[in-house]
Amino acid sequence: MSEYVPASDLRAAFSDAMSEMYRREVPLYGDLIDLVAAINSKFLVDNQYIRAELECSGEMARLDVERHGAIRVGRAEELSALRRIFALMGMYPVGYYDLSVAGVPVHSTAFRPVEPAALNASPFRIFTSLLRLELIEDEALRETAGRILAGRRIMSDRVMEIIEISEKNGGVPVDLQTEFLREVLDIFRWHPEAIVDRETYRQLHDAHRLIADVVSFKGPHINHLTPSVLDIDAAQQEMKQRGIRAKSVIEGPPRRAVPILLRQTSFTALEEPVRFLGEAAGEKGVHTARFGEIEQRGVALTPKGRRLYDQCLAEARGVSGAAAEDYEERLAQAFATFPDDAATLRREGLAYFRYVLTEKGLKSTEQGQTGSEQSQNWLDEGLIRAKPILYEDFLPVSAAGIFQSNLGGAEQRHYDAQSSQDRFEAALGTSVYDPFALYQQAQDDSLAQARRLLTGEER
């Protein structure tokens, strides 16, 4: 056994390396990072209270490095090998997303840290989709795609070797860290040389643009990397000011006093030159896959809160044929019934909270005097307070607009597919974590800790 690199350190280094690579590949991403940094620092000057909150909860450190990426793979073997790599970096599959309901022939999970401390150390996540070949209707094309995917290797022999060594070792050995990161980064690099000819690309593309994106290239290139911003409305305005062609509406919930879940906006996919198989360097081809995205995260909702959210969103979207211009207004109206203060969200069991001792609570533990054992009483007496738990997951189905706008505008597909979490998990080689259970656990743990402190069990 040799000394190994802590998973969180490896994840932080990986996140930095990905960011640097993507900055080189998509220079506009660099502009976005600068824009987000400017908005965040202004926001923290204007909102000292939030600054203090972030500092005290340890969330300040993650602010500048907060991001997620997205990749798409073609085969079960690719997915399960990635699962092993991500595990070495402390990222585990959380949640199952069936995107066929949004007209996209994939199903997905998000690899991310699951422990609160690990999330603060480096919250990097990768949304990972697996192509569902069975959704290609044309049998001949389905076979062609399957054959191409079966023939490609997205991972080097060396990286597979390092995985084996590291798993046996209980972590990536210190002396293999650099090599491991270099090899892993390589998997997600963009390759302008397609592994299919122009005609095959066209056929795959006609079946679905995303099928072409997965099947036509050597590996699962990172297709976007998303920094997190504290005020997405300001960011959206600033993007327009700087001439970045942002989407017209922000996906997700409306602007609120207590932000909930996730709001996202993006700019459209870039056209990138590609070279098809068998063609000379001079012959031009283009592929659109990669885009820019920013997001703002808010409190995680309970199943009850999520149901209410889905209802409100459906109401805002329901009016078919309604003009996009008044979408924002309709959204705000539809969400009028969703409570917008922390106390009500908590009392009605709509959102998750972390309980921490107040100054008064800390003092009372020193003096060994505590009143009742009820958390509500402790709150009323000001011994503990409830802080929103941040949503760490995704909303790709309700934000299907992100997919559609970035994958070619008006194109809409319909799949009569069954959601198949079982098949996804079989491909993955493990089951996925239930995100609600993780938030519930974080809430319960914080309350148990507060109780131990207040009742003196811990002294």
**Positions that interact with Ni ion (CB under 5 A):** 226, 293
297 counts as binding ligand OOG under rule CB under 6 A: no
How wide is the angle at C-alpha 289 spanned by C-alphas 236 and 91, nearest 5°?
Answer: 80
Nearest Cα neighbor of 218 from 268, 293, 275, 290 is 275
Sole window of 84-92, 253-261, 398-406, 433-441 interacting with ligand OOG (rule: CB under 6 A):
398-406
**Minimum distance from CB of 309 to ligand OOG (Å)?**
15
209 in Cβ contact with 407 (< 8 Å): yes
Tokens representing 428?
A: 């993955």
Sole window of 161-169, 182-190, 240-248, 396-404 interacting with ligand OOG (rule: CB under 6 A):
396-404
Q: How many residues bind ligand OOG (CB under 6 A)?
A: 11
396 counts as binding ligand OOG under rule CB under 6 A: yes
In the bound state with ligand OOG, the residue whose beta carbon lies nearer, of 250 and 399, is: 399
72 counts as binding ligand OOG under rule CB under 6 A: yes
Nearest Cα neighbor of 452 from 321, 382, 356 is 356
290 in Cβ contact with 272 (< 8 Å): yes
163 in Cβ contact with 85 (< 8 Å): yes
- Between CA 353 and CA 13 the distance in angstroms is 30
Pick from 223, 228, 265, 370: which binds ligand OOG (CB under 6 A)?
223
> Exposure pattern of 231-263 as b/e (b: 16+ CB <10 Å)?
bbebbbebbeeeebebbeebbbbbebebbbbbb
- Between CA 266 and CA 225 the distance in angstroms is 11
Binding mask 98-137 for ligand OOG (x = CB under 6 A): -----------------------------x-x--------
Nearest Cα neighbor of 293 from 104, 68, 136, 90 is 68
Runs of H (alpha helix) within 26-112: 27-46, 48-57, 60-63, 76-88
263 counts as binding ligand OOG under rule CB under 6 A: no
In the bound state with ligand OOG, the residue whose beta carbon lies nearer, of 223 and 370, is: 223
438 in Cβ contact with 113 (< 8 Å): no
Tokens representing 432?
A: 């996925």
Sole window of 86-94, 116-124, 236-244, 397-405 interacting with ligand OOG (rule: CB under 6 A):
397-405
Q: What DSSP string runs through 329-344?
A: HHHHHHGGGS--SHHH
227 counts as binding ligand OOG under rule CB under 6 A: no
In the bound state with Ni ion, the residue whose beta carbon lies nearer, of 110 and 136, is: 110
Contacted entry of ligand OOG, Ni ion, none for residue 223, CB cut-off 5 to 8 Å set by kind? ligand OOG
C-alpha dist (Å) from residue 80 to 7, 91, 111, 400: 18, 13, 12, 26
Pick from 124, 355, 394, 439: which binds ligand OOG (CB under 6 A)?
394
**Minimum distance from CB of 347 to ligand OOG (Å)?**
30
**Minimum distance from CB of 386 to ligand OOG (Å)?**
28
**Minimum distance from CB of 161 to ligand OOG (Å)?**
29
In the bound state with Ni ion, the residue whose beta carbon lies nearer, of 264 and 446, is: 264
Binding mask 337-376 for ligand OOG (x = CB under 6 A): ----------------------------------------
Contacted entry of ligand OOG, Ni ion, none for residue 172, CB cut-off 5 to 8 Å set by kind? none
Residues lying near ligand OOG in the complex (CB under 6 A) are found at 70, 72, 127, 129, 223, 264, 394, 396, 399, 402-403
